[in-house]
């Protein structure tokens, strides 16, 4: 439940949301998701200064999804 919004504002928001098409609701949800991910990325980078972007991306992915990815040592992979 949202506690920082007045009941009147919540009602107005619900009315606006109810008028949106399914496509508009999906687009809005995707935009919110992108915004939240961008904010999380910016905060993550601030908390880990001096770490390479590649290492940050691996660690961020791990934190977001709980999936272990190998951190590269900077040497080219031989597969």
Domain ranges of the chain: 21-71
Whether residue 78 is predicted with pLDDT greater than 50 in this model: the reply is no
- Looking at residue 49, its pLDDT comes to 94
Q: What is the pLDDT of residues 39-69, one digit of tens each?
A: 999 999 999 999 999 999 989 988 888 877 6
CA distances from 74 to 50, 71, 77 (A): 15, 9, 9
Between 74 and 31, the more confident residue is 31
* Tokens found for residue 11: 């009602």
How many percent of the chain have pLDDT more than 70? 84
């Amino acid at each position: 439940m949202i506690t920082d919004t007045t009941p009147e504002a919540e009602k107005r928001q619900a009315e606006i949301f109810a008028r949106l098409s399914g496509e508009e609701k999906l687009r809005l949800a995707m935009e919110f998701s992108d915004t939240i991910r961008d904010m999380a990325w910016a905060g993550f980078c601030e908390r880990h200064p001096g770490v390479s972007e590649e290492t940050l991306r691996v660690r961020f992915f791990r934190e977001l999804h709980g999936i272990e990815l190998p951190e590269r040592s900077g040497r080219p992979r031989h597969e």
